[in-house]
Amino acid sequence: MIRADVNVPQFKILVVDDQYGRPGLERENFLARVERDESEFIFATGQNEDGHNVPEISLDLVEQHWERPSEYRLSLILLDVRFPDRQDSQASGFGFKLLRALRERFGRALPIVMLTAETDVGPAANKATADGFLAKEKLSQSTLDEQHFRNGVFPDTSGILVGSAPAFLLTLRELRRVVKSGVMELLLLGEIGTGKSALATYVHTISGRSKGPFEKWSARATTPDTHYHQLFGAWKGAFTDAAKEHQPGVAEKAHNGTLFIDEVAELSPVAQPDLLEYAQRSSGDNLRRIRRLGLYPKSSPTNLNLAGRYCPEEDRVLVDAFLITATNRPLDDPGWRTVAGFRQDLLSRLGHRIIVPPLRERAEDISPLFLAFFKRPSGRDVILTPAAQGELEAHEWKEGNVRELETVAAAVTTRVGPEFHEIYPHHFDDLLAAKRRSAGASSVSPHPIPDEPNMAGQADNSGPLAESVSPSRLVDFEVESLWGVAERLRVAVLETRRPGRPGTLSDIFRHATGVEYVATDVKREVKDILAPWFSPNERQVTRWMANAHYRELVERVRADVVLACLYRYAVGDINWNEASRLMRSVFGETVAIADRDNR
């Protein structure tokens, strides 16, 4: 059984030192200087009972608590350099010998800091791949905390994040190192729903700017023509419908705090040059520059609503902010940048890049995350049975990662009555199987079938249906499946409409798929669904054009105002306001709702 209150591993610091490793006055002195309890450490001498240096003893101990952790795990290793042993001719450098052996077996991820009375071996420790160096004469609570913060591998203690999988903990360590380095620009890369926004909040919390503002803005959540003034603000009267007062943008509001731009790859070309200027801090004052939209009111420079400081010589607002950006797009791909119109010089200024691991690389975090998400709306602690835990860990979570897991947990809270305290596999019915691509996509998949090589190019010659289903019947099935998905999109527009206007595209897409489908790039999904009808590729034309039913349906789809508007918006021909205005014309019509079995 997995419970939320007991599934948090303990992390301890391993001290390998011939003096501190033995109980006595030296260890007591060590604990007094670092002001920590002995229970927070594992002590080892690196020697056998006869006092001889034996690397295997330390290697086995590290393996027990690093690669095969039991009751507790290692967050850091403090390793001495000199280990006296008359039978060891290399005793004065045994620590370096042990460091090399640890690296050979466990790799660079293992956090090792050399702790020694020899103050002149720092350069040697650096060359030998130690993560840090701490002279014993400078050992204190603050110096140990600093080494542990920068080099330790341990979970978030602020309460923002849940996770103790190695891949996730190494990501947290990299983020802490960025903060300690003084770097002020950070780019988070990773799949949809991996928790980039939560990690940005974590960085803000540990950066020393937690008392300042944390301004979050998404380039995908707003239309491109509003990107500039939302980011950088506007002087009064800068454009039609502008605010009656001077308005700072989110980049200015982040002064003395952190600016987080989510989905930065979607930033409009108009705003990219000014984000480039913002990202380049001045070498003189280390501040960022902002050019508000419009003209500075020289005749009446009052009530400017400034968050930063205006510099008249530069006609810029100066601010001090940590800049974090994030995207799930392949910004490192030059071809993608060319097509998307994303500037190379801007990418180079977005700073240190960190790839956030997907949930499938954090298997041991799935159950704790689920329990945390379950408790968030319900306030209840429940128990995951082994079978239920197995169901969660077997799922691929490719469609939304952590966000998808949160959606599943929220759905399960509605299925488990307050009188029950255990989660069983049946509570996941229709929640996991519907999203498990490996189980085989059917006609309910929101993704188009055509570009799968097995479906678009050649028949599958394996399985029980291979002998009984003809190629023509397979084409009929594919056409009906594609038509069903398109029709569900059309119906969803009508069923999610609000007074006088359609719902959001995310609402429409979620309603059409029949599940809580997690996808931040909904436009791309809609484009992929409708492309076989409006702009089929050569392979699709070859496969279906001979089918009379397909040709008939193509005419119906292309003549449909709703579907045509959705496709034109998805490919960028019109904006959402234009699409909404055109679709409103059909809201008064009587619409035949498709059979619910299609869902």
More confident site: 466 or 63: 63
Token duo for residue 505 = 């595209």
- What would the two tokens of residue 363 be? 């298997």
Say which CATH class 7-151 falls into: alpha beta
pLDDT at 439: 35
| pLDDT over 80 (residue 1) | no
Q: Where in the chain is the domain with CATH 3.40.50.300?
A: 181-355
Residue 404: closest CA among 363, 369, 445, 364: 369
Mean pLDDT, to the nearest integer, of 552-564?
Answer: 82
Classified as helix, coil or strand, 274 is helix
**Residue 499: predicted pLDDT:** 63
pLDDT score, position 597: 37
Residue 55: φ, ψ to 5°: -55, -35
- The fold of 181-355 is Rossmann fold (3.40.50)
Give the integer Cα–Cα distance in Å for 288 and 294: 19
Helix (H, G, I), strand (E, B) or coil at 501: strand
Distance CA 248, CA 297 (A): 14
Listed in order, the ranges of the chain carrying CATH 1.10.8.60 are 363-438
Based on the number of CB atoms within 10 Å of its own CB, is 461 exposed (0-12), middle (13-18) or buried (19 or more)?
A: exposed
**What proportion of the chain, given as a percentage, has pLDDT over 70?**
83
Quick one: pLDDT at residue 473?
Answer: 47
- HSE-CB for 316 with a 13 A CA cutoff: 14
pLDDT at residue 73 tops 50: yes
> 191-207, pLDDT tens digit by residue?
999 999 999 999 999 99
Task: Please give the average per-residue pLDDT across 455-464, as a whole number.
Answer: 36
The architecture CATH gives domain 363-438:
Orthogonal Bundle (1.10)
Angle between helices 561-570 and 522-534 (to 10 degrees): 120
> Which secondary-structure segment (H or E) carries 363?
helix 363-378
Cα of 466 vs its chain's centroid, Å: 41
Tens-digit pLDDT profile for residues 363-376 = 999 999 999 999 99
**Tens digit of pLDDT for each residue in 51-60?**
889 999 999 9
| Inter-residue contact 399 to 435 (CB < 8 Å) | yes
**H helices, E strands: number in the chain:** 23, 16
Tell the residue number behind the tokens 């944390």, with chain if given.
214
State yes or no: pLDDT of 472 exceeds 70: no
Task: Report CA-CA distances (Å) from 93 to 20, 68, 82, 104, 304.
Answer: 17, 28, 6, 17, 65
Question: 292 versus 455: which is more confidently predicted?
Answer: 292
Class of residue 333 by CB neighbours under 10 A (exposed 0-12, middle 13-18, buried 19+): exposed
Q: For residue 114, which of 127, 125, 101 has the smallest C-alpha distance? A: 125
CATH 3.40.50.2300 in the chain, residues?
7-151
Query: 249 — phi, psi (to 5°)?
Result: -90, 175
As a whole number, mean pLDDT of residues 563-581 equals 83
- Print the SS3 string covering 18-51: CCCCCCCHHHHHHHHHHCCCHHHEEEECCECCCC
CA distances from 50 to 81, 363, 464, 544, 547 (A): 19, 42, 69, 80, 85
Alpha helices in 156-209 (DSSP H): 166-181, 196-206
Beta-bridge partner residues of 217? 261
**pLDDT value at position 523?**
78
Mean pLDDT of the 248-256 span: 96
pLDDT at residue 471 greater than cutoff 90: no
- 576's enclosing H/E stretch is helix 576-583
- How far apart, in whole angstroms, are the C-alpha atoms of residue 98 and residue 77? 12
pLDDT at res. 436: 45
Q: Is the pLDDT of residue 518 over 90?
A: no
